[in-house]
Amino acid sequence: MSPASPVGRGSRADPVSVVLAGGGTAGHTSPLIATAHEIRRLAPQAQVTAVGTARGLETTVVPEAGLPLQLVPPVPLPRRPGKDLLLVPARLRRAVQEAGRILESISADVVLGFGGYVSTPVYLAARRRSVPIVIHEQNALPGLANRLAARLTDHVFTSFPDTPLPHARCIGLPLRAGITGLDRDGGRVAARAAFGLPANGSTLLVSGGSQGAASLNRAVFGARSRLLDQGISVLHAVGTKNLTEDLVGVTDEATGAVYQPLAYIAAMETAYAAADLMLGRCGASTVLETAAVGLPAVFVPYPHGNGEQARNAAGVVSTGGGVLLADTDCTPDWVTEQIPSLIQPAVLSRMSAALAGVARPDAATVLARQTLSLGGWTEGD
């Protein structure tokens, strides 16, 4: 089948129309939002539209970021053979048709995708209509959607230098201005007050991502009283489904340290400012955001999948800015024994210094400029 005519703008005077595809988790939505805001800063007249599915985090965080969101049907790929696998072709056709309708309705000039299963139908619809495609891969090991898209375009950008994609150019991970401009020292007292934490003493930030992480939660639940005994406060994002009525904040009367559980932390820059050390998974956003703000971390890779999380953290760990901990070793005893020794000022200072220069603060600007220019935009439009 021959490609359809380009969607494109009716005239050079029309504002450039950019579609950003990605969703599911914060790993996709965070760089999408960061880049969308940078596109709007560079080209205030640009039309920016995000595309996601009804299943993902994007239904909440994208509108909250002030971005219009269009939805396509999800096309998850089953891990095992069965009825769901047989339904994939029909589901994909419907999703591609809906993505095509969206591209045509907004006269899309360029598509920027961040991976995840929402991106595949948008990539295919763009290819069908000769709309230029840009992709950004967050992880050191690429997902299926971006491995496919890398065959459709030469405009491939990555967060890590050794990501195995053709035509790849490493620019770093697009980060929000709240991250790249964060003054952790200057904002610490206000950040701790925002979470109900004491201004003095040490604070451990724990997060397993938007859904939480069972192994991290169990380890911290089992160690929290002993951490509080040593004056270490804990800011714990347990996951949206894990904050039960009986999980409440605790204050140690002797030390004044606080255990503060939350379902999810949207403003992670505030949490980073409050913390001295982080215990968390090592998705690309967590690894490169903590590196950008100089926050040392203990990374616990997700134990399933293709090993991408351990690869994400490898560079930071090799510099001495982080510690890699196997999921099976993340236990209450490890947290009790090791966190107090890591959260000492001299250790933290050394680890923080090792993080200097690891993350690139200009990635959102580079990606926004590349995307806009491919859509026909020039400075001054």
Q: DSSP string covering 79-111, please?
A: SSSSHHHHHHHHHHHHHHHHHHHHHHHTT-SEE
- How large is the average pLDDT for residues 90-94? 91
As a whole number of angstroms, the distance between CA 362 and CA 179 comes to: 11
Beta-carbon count within 10 A of 377 CB: 22
Report yes or no: 232 and 204 within 8 Å, Cβ to Cβ.
yes
- State the DSSP H helix or E strand holding residue 206, giving kind and residue range, or none if neither: strand 202-207
Confidence (pLDDT) at 379: 78
The answer to whether 27 and 138 are in contact (CB under 8 A) is yes
The H or E element spanning position 262 is strand 258-262
Give the pLDDT band of residue 10 (cuts 50, 70, 90).
very low
Residue 27 — very low, low, confident or very high, per pLDDT cuts 50/70/90?
confident
Write down the pLDDT at residue 1. Answer: 38
Spatial separation of the C-alpha atoms in residues 330 and 281, rounded to whole Å: 11
CA distance 54 to 374: 29
- For 105-119, what is the mean pLDDT? 94
Asked if the domains 17-175+361-374 and 182-354 are classified in one and the same CATH topology, the answer is yes
Quick one: angle between helices 284-293 and 308-319, nearest 10? 20
Q: What is the mean pLDDT of the chain?
A: 92
HSE (side-chain half, CA atoms, 13 Å) at 374 = 23
pLDDT tops 70 at residue 6: no
CATH of the structural domain 182-354, one choice from 3.40.640.10, 3.40.50.1220, 3.40.50.2000, 3.40.50.1370: 3.40.50.2000
Write the class of the CATH domain 17-175+361-374. alpha beta
pLDDT range class, residue 222, cuts 50, 70, 90:
very high
Instruction: Decide if 173 contacts 288 (C-beta within 8 A).
Output: yes
Measuring CA to CA, which residue among 131, 174, 141 is closest to residue 22? Answer: 174
Please give the distance of CA 66 from its chain centroid, rounded to a whole number. 18
pLDDT at 126 over 90: yes
- Give the C-alpha distances (Å, rounded to integers) separating 353 from 233, 256, 292, 311, 357: 23, 29, 11, 21, 9
Over residues 251-264, mean pLDDT = 95
- Residue range 93-113: mean pLDDT, rounded: 97
Q: What is the pLDDT of residue 35?
A: 98
Task: Give me the mean pLDDT over the 177-192 stretch.
Answer: 96
* Predicted confidence (pLDDT) per residue in 291-308, tens digit: 999 999 999 999 987 788
Instruction: State the number of CA atoms in the 13 A half-sphere of 298 facing the CB.
Output: 24
Domain boundaries, the chain: 17-175+361-374, 182-354
Average pLDDT, stretch 129-154? 94
> Does residue 97 register a pLDDT over 90?
yes
Sign of CA dihedral 179, 184, 186, 192: positive
| Confidence grade of residue 79 (pLDDT, cut at 50, 70, 90) | low
Q: What is the phi/psi pair of residue 79, to 5°? A: -80, -20
Q: Is 11's pLDDT higher than 70?
A: no
Phi and psi at 169, nearest 5°, equal -125, 120
**Rounded Cα–Cα distance for residues 49 and 8 (Å):** 14
